[in-house]
Each structure stands twice: as C-alpha cells, then as structure tokens.
C-alpha cells in the first residue's frame, strides 16, 4: 500500500521545494511533464500543483506490487484534477473508490456561502484490475437465531422482493401462493428475486416464511452456516467519530504542544491499513509529515501480531520560526516525524507491558536519516 497525503492546493501560488540532484529539465523530460503554466489565468495554480504530483504518481505506479493499492488524501480544490491524472497514470479501469471522510467535527461558520465544508476524500486505485482490494466489514451475527429449532442452525429472515420490471424480467413476475393455506400474496411491482422453479424448491425445503397478513410479503430463511467467507462490503462513507481535531489531540498528548497543522488521525489510518493490507505487507508514505502512518502501522502490528513494514519519506521542510514546533527545537518537519515515531513506539511498548515482546516491537520503531530527506524505515 502507498498512502499519499500531499500538501493541499488552497488556491494561492503553490510552491513546493523539491531538491533533485538530477537537472530539472532532464527530470521533467523523463517523467513526461509536458504541461505548461499560464501565469495570466487561474489555471496556473492547478498547473503548479499537478506538476508536483504527476511524477510522484508515476513513481508510485512503478513501485506498487501487482496486488498493491494507492490511497491519496485530497479535498475539493483538486479532487477533480487528481482523478484525471490518476486515471492516466494508473488506468481508469483501476479506479476503486472515492471515499468520503467527515474530517470536521464542528461546523465552520466563516464561509460566505453559508455552507460548512466538513469532508475530505481519499482516492483509491489498484495496480491491476480485478483484485478484491478491501477486506470488508465484520459480519453482524446478532440478528441470527433459531426460534424454531431448525436443525440447519441459526438463521435470519431475508427479503425475497425483486429489483426488475416485468418488461426486463418477466419470469420473475408471478403471484406467490402458500400451498398449505392457499393465501395469495400477489406479485410485487419489481417481481420476486427468484424464478418459479427456485421458489418452488425453497418452499419444498421449508425456507419460506409465510406471514399471516396477505398484504405482507413472504421472506426466506437465510442460514448463517451457508454464507460465504467473503465479508460484507466496506462503505465508501468512512465511519464518523474520527476527525482532524482528533489527530490534533493525539499529537498534543505525544508532544505536549501544538507542533503540526491538520494532521491525519491514527484511527483513520488504522482503518485503511486494516482494510487494504495483510500482516506482512509493506506500506510507503512519501509525504510522511507528522508520521501518522508509522504510528498506525506500529499500533496495528501490536494489536494483531502483524509484521507490516513501513518506509516513510519527508523532505527536510523548515518549520516556521514563530511556530511552537520551532520553539520546541524542531527545525524541520522531518525532525517532528522522527520524534513522534520514538515517542509513539515507546508508548506502545509501555501499553504492551510484556518484556517477551519488547525486542519484536522495538525492531519496528527504529529511525534513520539521510542527507536530502528523512527516511523512517522499519528494520
């Protein structure tokens, strides 16, 4: 999995100080950056941001394993343009989802329009078409019971009303009659879910639940032990209760000061990692910023016994001299990220409280650096 949380383009002149050892003209030639900026139009704001993103997405596509997936956080300013270049880089057929995350907990009353923009997006693309990308959600089994002591086990009632018109599926449109009572339950507007022979088999197997009221609809017994191992689908509407201010509080607990603006919460990343990675996968984040991704990987490994590896990359972007981070001694964003890994790792070890597991977990919080960027590598 590759996760990207790039700097959002908020509409001002976009500046991102890349430091390449290769001449920039050759770099642009290799990465096929043919877009030209138009300083007389607003399009130049999009151009500068897209010129920063495009080569990184090309690199991400090359690095991904065949069963890999990339997830990109973005807001309304560039989501349309990002979809277009992702379609080009990864292939439109490999688009998986545009997840919606409610990032704001409290309403924003500053907008002239009167609308509080409370959400962000996570674009998800797979490397190859046809792979099941999301694990799925836990199946709810509380609804299953066995009030009639059916020897086939616990069951729940399931809908049998169809979804097709009579013109589209005439074989699904017929009156359903209880052979034991003679009650005719008619035919729903969209017919039944099963054609006559299948419905007759369900009746013979005593799987149809007949209501006493003729105006109600018969339902069928769905047995828990007959369900496939495939879990129910993961919703594109991400769970509520995890917001940007949740992440701010998490960093405050770690550092005791406000060292980073607009971080992502650990819970959000853990949710994605649980869905999109297996226990031995590698996770890359080359906009690692406050290192939320590392924190989430370490926490999830500690919880499920996984051995996920991480590679985090962050340019040594200088912190503002007026910021709390600078005053606390962090001269670059990379330094903030490294220190977070150390402290988060120590906290996870403390919470585990098991000396037998200490060496295993400590091996997952090592930090190393290089000259042009900070690379945090699982060793």
Task: Classify burial at 177, counting beta carbons within 10 Å of its beta carbon; exposed 0-12, middle 13-18, buried 19 or more.
Answer: middle
Q: How far apart are CA 145 and CA 279, in angstroms?
A: 33
Q: Of the segments 116-130, 134-148, 175-189, 258-272, which one has the largest average pLDDT value?
A: 175-189
- Answer for the pair 247, 274: CB distance below 8 angstroms, yes or no: no
Higher pLDDT residue, 41 or 86? Answer: 86
Residue 341 Cα to chain centre, angstroms? 22
**Residue whose structure tokens are 């290769």:** 22
DSSP 66: T
Residue 352 Cα to chain centre, angstroms? 27
Q: Which residues contact 335 (CB under 8 A, 6 or more apart)?
A: 374
**Pick from 62-76, 184-198, 337-351, 359-373: least confident:** 359-373
Q: What is the pLDDT of residues 271-327, one digit of tens each?
A: 999 999 999 999 999 898 889 999 999 999 999 999 999 999 988 888 888 888 888
Q: What is the pLDDT of residues 131-161, one digit of tens each?
A: 889 988 877 888 899 999 999 999 999 999 9
Instruction: Write down the pTM of the prediction.
Output: 0.73
- Answer for the pair 292, 310: CB distance below 8 angstroms, yes or no: no
Count how many Cα atoms sit within 13 Å of the Cα of residue 160 in the half-sphere of its side chain: 28
**Residue 71: pLDDT above 90?**
yes
What's the CA angle centered on 272, arms 271 and 277, to 5 degrees? 115
Q: Which of 336, 329, 334, 330 is nearest to 317 (CA)?
A: 334
Q: Which two tokens stand for residue 39?
A: 């300083």
**Residue 80: pLDDT above 90?**
yes
Band the pLDDT of 357: cuts 50, 70, 90: very low
Q: What pLDDT is attached to residue 270?
A: 94
Q: What is the mean pLDDT of the chain?
A: 84
Higher pLDDT residue, 203 or 8? Answer: 203
DSSP 102: E
pLDDT more than 70, % of the chain: 83
Q: What pLDDT is attached to residue 158?
A: 94
Band the pLDDT of 35: cuts 50, 70, 90: very low
> Which letter, b or e, does each residue of 89-98 get, where b requires 16 or more Cβ atoms within 10 Å of its Cβ?
bbeeebbbbe
Higher pLDDT residue, 13 or 183? Answer: 183
Rounded to 5 degrees, φ, ψ at 95 are -65, 130
Q: What pLDDT is attached to residue 44?
A: 67
Q: What is the pLDDT of residues 211-257, one digit of tens each?
A: 999 999 999 999 998 887 667 788 889 876 888 888 888 888 888 87
């Amino acid at each position: 999995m590759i996760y990207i949380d790039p700097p959002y383009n908020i509409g001002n002149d976009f500046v991102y100080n890349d430091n390449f050892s290769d001449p920039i003209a050759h770099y642009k030639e290799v990465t096929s950056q043919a877009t030209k900026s138009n300083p007389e139009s607003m399009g130049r704001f999009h151009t500068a941001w897209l010129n920063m993103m495009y080569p990184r997405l090309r690199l991400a596509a090359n690095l991904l394993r065949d069963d890999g997936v990339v997830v990109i956080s973005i807001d309304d300013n560039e989501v349309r343009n990002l979809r277009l270049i992702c379609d080009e880089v990864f292939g439109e057929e490999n688009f998986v989802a545009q997840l919606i995350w409610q990032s704001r907990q409290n309403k924003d009353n500053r907008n002239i329009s009167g609308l509080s923009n409370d959400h962000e997006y996570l674009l998800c693309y797979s490397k190859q078409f046809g792979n099941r990308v999301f694990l799925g959600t836990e199946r709810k089994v509380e609804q299953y019971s066995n009030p009639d002591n059916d020897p086939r086990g616990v069951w729940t009632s399931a809908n049998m009303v169809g979804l097709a018109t009579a013109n589209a599926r005439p074989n699904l449109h017929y009156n359903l009659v209880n052979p034991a009572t003679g009650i005719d339950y008619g035919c729903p507007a969209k017919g039944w879910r099963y054609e006559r022979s299948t419905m007759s088999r369900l009746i013979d197997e005593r799987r149809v639940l007949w209501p006493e009221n003729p105006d109600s609809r018969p339902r069928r017994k769905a047995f828990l032990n007959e369900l496939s191992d495939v879990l129910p689908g993961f919703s594109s509407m991400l769970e509520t209760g995890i917001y940007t201010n949740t992440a701010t509080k998490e960093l405050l607990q770690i550092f005791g000061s406000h060292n980073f603006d607009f971080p992502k919460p650990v819970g959000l990343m853990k949710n994605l990692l649980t869905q999109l990675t297996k226990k031995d996968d590698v996770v890359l984040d080359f906009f690692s910023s406050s290192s939320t991704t590392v924190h989430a990987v370490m926490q999830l490994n500690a919880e499920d016994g996984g051995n996920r590896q991480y590679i985090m990359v962050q340019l040594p972007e200088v912190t503002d001299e007026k910021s709390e981070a600078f005053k606390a001694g962090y001269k670059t964003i990379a330094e903030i990220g490294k220190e977070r890994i150390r402290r988060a790792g120590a906290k996870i070890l403390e919470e585990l409280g098991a000396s037998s597991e200490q060496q295993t977990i400590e091996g997952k919080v090592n930090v190393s650096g290089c000259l042009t960027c900070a690379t945090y590598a699982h060793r």
